[in-house]
C-alpha cells in the first residue's frame, strides 16, 4: 500500500532508541525526510549509523527553550515539518512507598512537559501552514494504574487529555493530533519497570517478566516495529479523518471501552 508519505518531513523526539528509532527507520523507508533528537549526542551518533540520510540534534526537552531551538534546527535541516512523532522521555518506575513530591514533579517533566514543549511550537507552525500530524506515543499506564508507575501514569493521562483537546482545537486548521498507547513493549524502559516490580514483589526479574507476559492474551509483548507500523498509518492520509483520539496497542491486555 502506498501511504503517500514520500518527500514529507518528520521530527521524531526520542528517535535514537526503542519505539522512536523504529519509527524513524519506518518513515525513512517510506521516503520521508527525518530528523531525530535525544538528550545524548552519543546516542544520536549511534542511531544515525542506522538511519542513512537522517539528521539528529541533541536537546533536553524538559527545557522549553531547547525544544523550541530543536524545532528551528529541524526545519532548517529538512524543511517545514509535516509530522511530529513524540517518543522522548519516560518517567522512572517507582514503588508507591518511594514516591515523593519531587518524584511526581520529575515524572511530569520527563513525560508530560517533554512532549508539550515540542508540541507547542510545532502545532502553531503547522496550523499557520494549514497541515500537519502530531503522533504522541503515550502508554496504557495513563488509563490502567500500575503500582510502580503511578506518577508516570498520571503524566500519561494528562497527555491523553492534551491529545484530545488539541485534536479538537486544531482540527479546523488542518492539523491532526493522535495518541498511541502501547502496553508492554520490548524496550529498555519496560525492562526498568520489571526491575521495579521484582523489587516490590521480591521476585526475580525473569519471574516479573514472565508474569507480565502471561497477562497478555496475544502471548507476547509488542515490538517497537508494531508501534512504528501504526505510526506510519496514522501519519498518512489513509488516517486523514482520525484526530483527537488515543489508540491502545496492548495485545488486548486491558479489555475496556473508552
Fold of 9-91+101-189+224-248: Rossmann fold (3.40.50)
| Ordered strands of the 246-249 beta sheet | 55-58, 33-38, 9-13, 83-86, 132-137, 175-182, 246-249
Over residues 96-116, mean pLDDT? 92
Residue 232's SS3 state is helix
In the block, which residue shows the cell 482545537?
A: 169
Angle at 161 between CA 80 and CA 100, to 5 degrees: 110
Q: Where are the domains of the chain?
A: 9-91+101-189+224-248
Count of residues making up the chain? 258
Over residues 190-196, mean pLDDT? 70
Q: What pLDDT, in 10s, does the model give residues 11-21?
A: 999 999 999 99
Read off the pLDDT band of 72 (50, 70, 90): very high
Over residues 79-93, mean pLDDT? 90
Cell numbers found for residue 52:
542513512
Specify whether the CB–CB gap between 209 and 184 falls below 8 A.
no
The pTM of this model reads 0.91
Tell me how far apart the alpha carbons of residues 238 and 167 are, in angstroms, rounded to a whole number.
Answer: 17
Instruction: Return the pLDDT at 258.
Output: 62
Q: How far is CA 235 from the centre of its chain?
A: 13
Read off the pLDDT band of 210 (50, 70, 90): confident
Is residue 142 pLDDT above 90, yes or no?
Answer: no
Sign of the alpha-carbon dihedral angle for 157, 159, 164, 169? positive
Cell numbers found for residue 76:
532548517
Sign of the alpha-carbon dihedral angle for 166, 71, 118, 190? positive
Reference 138, options 249, 222, 255, 233; nearest CA is: 249
CA dist 151 to 96, 104, 144, Å? 9, 5, 12
Amino acid at each position: 500500500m502506498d501511504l503517500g508519505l514520500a518527500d514529507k518531513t518528520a521530527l521524531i523526539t526520542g528517535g535514537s532508541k526503542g519505539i522512536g528509532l523504529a519509527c524513524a527507520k519506518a518513515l525513512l523507508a517510506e521516503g520521508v525526510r527525518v530528523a531525530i533528537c535525544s538528550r545524548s549526542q552519543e546516542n544520536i551518533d549511534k542511531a544515525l549509523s542506522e538511519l542513512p540520510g537522517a539528521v539528529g540534534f541533541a536537546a533536553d526537552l524538559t527545557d522549553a527553550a531547547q525544544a523550541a531551538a530543536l524545532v528551528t534546527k529541524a526545519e532548517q535541516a529538512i524543511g517545514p515539518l509535516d509530522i511530529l512523532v513524540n517518543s522522548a522521555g519516560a518517567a522512572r518506575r517507582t514503588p508507591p512507598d518511594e514516591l515523593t513530591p519531587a518524584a511526581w514533579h520529575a515524572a511530569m517533566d520527563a513525560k508530560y512537559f517533554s512532549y508539550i514543549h515540542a508540541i507547542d511550537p510545532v502545532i502553531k507552525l503547522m496550523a499557520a501552514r494549514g497541515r500537519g500530524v502530531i503522533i504522541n506515543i503515550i502508554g496504557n499506564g495513563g488509563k490502567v494504574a500500575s503500582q510502580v508507575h503511578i506518577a508516570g501514569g498520571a503524566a500519561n493521562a494528562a497527555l491523553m487529555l492534551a491529545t484530545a483537546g488539541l485534536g479538537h482545537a486544531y482540527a479546523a486548521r488542518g492539523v491532526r493530533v493522535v495518541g498511541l498507547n502501547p502496553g508492554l513493549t520490548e524496550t529498555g524502559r519496560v525492562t526498568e519497570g520489571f526491575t521495579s516490580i521484582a523489587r516490590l514483589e521480591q521476585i526475580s526479574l525473569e519471574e516479573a517478566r514472565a508474569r507480565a507476559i502471561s497477562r497478555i492474551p496475544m502471548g507476547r509483548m509488542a515490538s517497537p516495529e508494531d508501534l512504528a507500523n501504526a505510526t506510519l498509518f496514522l501519519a498518512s492520509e489513509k488516517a486523514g479523518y482520525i484526530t483527537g483520539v488515543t489508540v491502545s496497542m496492548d495485545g488486548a491486555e486491558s479489555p475496556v471501552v473508552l
